[in-house]
Structure 1
């Protein structure tokens, strides 16, 4: 099994032509994001991913993380790899320069996040959570909190976690029971237990900053009464040095299907009544603060779906080239062909490739929209970009993680019987990917968010603007007058069906409380697949233009066009077919009762 190799050429193509890096580099604060700088960053990131993280992936899965007496030990090589990660400055390349970050656009940072996760998903979960904490403290922390915590978090010397889930609450965060009692010194005393805390305890960083949701005395019921607290593993003195160990501990680690190397902890706070916490943001406004962290995490989890699919694809292609079985048409008798020459294997590989390229376009565009939302030249531009970013986020998380599982499964299928044998390593990608549609808000929640909140944002302006851009791309394809014009037919069908589904939701959701939830999941799939087709069409048009202008890399550009053609012919029609499930309503979902379901 070869190590991971970052697809730098495609990453650069998408950054430049879909995320529009040249325009991002003109925004205030991003002036140094020039093409040569970004290219150098991506190249070095690719080397770290391939040479340091990738070789630890399978051994880490086999060894796993372990806990004894509250002390967690990560797999061999983890501590050294994390030290190299920190030394390379990789943890904060998109963080503000004021806190010693790299100040690069989020779209560029997402490309590096893709590399870390493709090389080693279990390792990469640690910096993912830290990134979310940085954004939360930037958005909601006091100046004192920002000065005390951000530089160490940006550097990666300190890690961070997100503590939402409790055993009795699950996704219903409003049902949490963790308490926060005010202390005389202005701090708070935290008590309670949290589950599923990624990297809740480990030895890789010198401190861990936990962001913990808790309920204060007299707080309203439900999510309206939740507050967010900074709870350090080691208290931080005014001079920035570490003080005493806080009253918190890891009780146990979860035994999981996958991501064995990542310590998923059960955390207990305040067993001795002295767990010190510091309010982040306003009291009873914890969900608003936490959503800053969760929205970052949701996009990054979408990247994980893309990353696992890319890693699984690389191994599937390698195996299909080497494995000989059967005869391809026209071969001499007695000779066996590499299975990559069989049509069905080719179909699986092209399905993986086309979806991966579409996912990459979606996610990098999502990151670029966030960059524009925070650094745009004027308020109108920032508002428009934020609308697009919010619309795309549930699709990035939901669609890309569903595909991460599906395409990892496809990679197992390409391997045939050997895919079911752990020796090949491809099964790890499938096991690791299975958590992705679940955490940071299940994909059902992402779908409900899309139809319940995002369609109506800004009076529906982001949706209308995206539809207009899709229509323009359909026309541009048709106007080519060559083989690419055929792609306009399938894209036009998908966009038309998506508009009809959207109009149906707008019309029926206000009158039927079950209408939108019943069609939400197929609608997210329909919307995201159509966006994927639209973005691959833009890629193909750009590749055609570059080829006409004499770009010498004709093999790469031709492959971009063919991949888009495959997506339009083989994948996009499935989005059009989802119009029925989206608009069917809920009648058949509830036509039988609970007893009949269990019969």
Structure 2
């Protein structure tokens, strides 16, 4: 297996030439320039490459174990976590009011990419903790924030999200976990949750669960759900967190991938908890965490795709097989074969544009938090809301497809464990499922996000894209993206006001079309910026042309499928399946 190489040159190119990082920081008053940002990313890349990547295969093979009711993570993980925390990576983008460093979210997002590329199982620990911190910061009382946020932000304690039950997955209205109020203002939480990532570990410190449950007087459905903070350890008489709460790990899920991540069945038996936010408003509070996690999960797909590409490209340069196209030489490195190049270019066309689109979205999140103008904050926040299901679903779909194509480059060697490619495929698969399946993300985009501000948000986004396409002139990828955008606008107009079945039939194809146009927009910006004869700029222009000629044509097929409506999907009787 080849060493992981952090994509620092690409980050530098995007910050300096494509995304206008310094200008964005000046507008939002954040005192970070491009040089500092690159230096942070370089150090993060070294940590990921040297500390976490070597643990990835070992963690997959050893997995987590349940010993005496507690989780034991693979050897090396507790020490790696302590090193990660000591270096400050856990607190990088967190609010300084709670002990964070307050660095721009774009740096956090690209750190998440490198974490996912080098050790996806490990990367879930800080990602889930960060999401829990955001929910607590946005909705909890000042007293709860003061107690729980500083050690969580620092990484001394970690967080987990406890939503799913065996009978309540996507449909949270069915959940049965109960919370009974106590005389001292706390609550006794009782129930069982499944699929709880980072539910327990042996890193030391506390594990803070955010648990959805119903109060005794709760109305039926999602309007009766409240959110509770339930820690593994409670404070003793001296205020030290040494008292074990009445919650336990019932089992570890046996799963396809991310074996080094403890996915737990959690039992809460009158466990002590505190209400976060208002009674019966828990789902809205939890969505603060879920929306943050959905961006992180999308970047997981991107990270795995980038890592798999590096391995496949390295192998293709060295593997000798077959003869040259003219038959004069052989054996030749398989990088000379057109089909191998096609697979590698498919991956690269996604990864580099996805990295740019993720970075652009992250800058909008920074803008939503820090811009001095309230109207600009609201506009940026709406754009993040629009793009969140796209990043989550498209990046994880394309990330899994990329992992499979990278595995295919290896032929039979990709199917066996030696080269590590089958782990990428197994690990990438979950990202399409958790934090809301990708079908649910597509329905969210079509059913909710297109309607934001009566459609003005999506139309404003399309106008942003069109302005850059017009400015790019005759660049090939700009012209082809302009055609795809026209198809997307037509599909958007056709779906406006459509019924549930019609939107359900079109949603997945629509999200894919939306993503292709967005990636084409990023390739246009990159191709326009890549104007010198350096190897990096030449490569950008070449891959942009490949995307325009070989990937963007998918837009026409997607548009045709959307226009076909729901009739062929609903024609077959349910009992005929």
Name the structure 1 match of 2:172: 173
Q: Please name the residue that 1:332 is paired with.
A: 328
Task: Find the counterpart in structure 2 of residue 407 from structure 1.
Answer: 402
For 1:85 and 1:20, the matched residues in 2 are separated by 30
Query: Residues of 2 paired with 1:339 and 1:49: CA distance?
Result: 29
- CA positional deviation for 1:179: 0.2
Q: Are positions 1:303 and 2:293 aligned together?
A: no
Partner of 2:488: 498
Which residue of structure 2 lines up, in the alignment, with residue 227 of structure 1? Answer: 226
In 1, Cα distance between the equivalents of 2:571 and 2:23?
Answer: 53
Confirm whether residue 154 of structure 1 aligns to residue 153 of structure 2: yes
Distance across 1 between alignment mates of 2:151 and 2:557: 50
CA distance in 1, matches of 2:14, 2:548: 18
Distance 1:426 1:501, change over 3 A: same
Distance in 2, matches of 1:591 and 1:23, equals 54
Counterpart selection for 1:373 from 355, 368, 377: 368
The root-mean-square deviation of aligned C-alpha atoms, in Å, is: 1.4
Q: 2:529 aligns with which of 542, 545, 555?
A: 542
**Counterparts of 1:130 and 1:239, CA distance in 2:** 26
1:256 deviates by 0.5
Where do residues 407-556 of structure 1 align in structure 2 (5 Å cutoff)? 407-479=402-474, 484=475, 486-507=476-497, 509=498, 512-544=499-531, 547=532, 554-556=534-536
For normalisation by structure 1, the TM-score amounts to 0.94
- Counterpart position of 1:289: 285
Question: Are residue 588 (structure 1) and residue 568 (structure 2) matched?
Answer: yes
Secondary structure class of the residue paired with 2:496: helix
- 1:12 matched to 2:12? The reply is yes
Match of 1:97 in 2: 96
* Offset, 1:493: 1.3
Q: Deviations over 1:97-126 (max 9, x none)?
A: 122211111111111111111110011111
Q: Give the direction of change, closer, same or farther, for the CA distance of 1:569–1:238 in structure 2 (3 Å limit).
A: farther
Q: In structure 2, what is the Cα distance between the partners aligned to 1:84 and 1:411?
A: 31
Secondary structure of the corresponding residue to residue 54 of structure 2 = helix
Q: What do the CA deviations read for 1:212-234 (whole angstroms, capped 9, x no partner)?
A: 00000120111100000000100
Please tell me whether the aligned partners of residues 180 and 188 of structure 2 are also in contact (alpha carbons under 8 angstroms). Answer: yes
Q: Distance in 2 between matches of 1:336 and 1:473?
A: 45
For residues 221-370 of structure 1, what are the structure 2 equivalents within 5 Å?
221-236=220-235, 241-270=240-269, 273=270, 275-330=271-326, 332-333=328-329, 335-370=330-365
- Worse-superposed segment, 314-323 or 570-579: 570-579
Runs of 4+ aligned residues of structure 1 deviating over 4 Å after TM superposition are 237-240
- Decide which moves more: 110-119 or 185-194: 110-119
Change (3 A) 1:354 1:427: same
Confirm or deny that 1:24 pairs with 2:21.
no
Q: How many residues in Structure 1 have an aligned counterpart in Structure 2? A: 577
The alpha-carbon deviation at position 178 of structure 1 amounts to 0.3
Match of 2:559 in 1: 579
1:412–1:427 Cα contact (<8 Å) kept: yes
Q: Secondary structure at the match of 2:228?
A: strand
Match of 1:388 in 2: 383
Alpha-carbon distance, 1:332 to partner: 3.1
| CA–CA separation in structure 1 for the residues paired with 2:234 and 2:472 | 59
Q: For residues 76-115 of structure 1, what are the structure 2 equivalents within 5 Å?
A: 76-115=75-114
Q: 1:423 to 1:469 in 2, by over 3 A?
A: same
Tell me if the contact between 1:391 and 1:463 (Cα under 8 Å) persists in the aligned partners.
Answer: yes
**Could you tell me the TM-score, scaled by structure 2's length?**
0.98
Note the alpha carbon deviations across 1:198-251, whole angstroms, 9 max, x for none.
010111131100000000012011110000000010013697631311000001
**Cα offset for 1:127?**
0.8
Tell me the alpha carbon deviations over residues 518-562 of structure 1, each in whole angstroms, 9 at most, x when there is no partner: 100000000011100011101111122xx2xxxxx7111111111
Q: 1:27 deviation in Å? A: 4.4
Q: Is the 8 A contact 1:493 1:576 kept in 2?
A: no
What CA distance in whole angstroms lies between the structure 1 residues aligned with 2:26 and 2:526? 22
Match of 2:65 in 1: 66
The answer to whether the 8 Å contact 2:477/2:520 transfers is: no
Q: SS where residue 449 of structure 1 aligns?
A: helix
Distance 1:14 1:300 in 2: 19
Task: Give 2:195's aligned residue.
Answer: 196
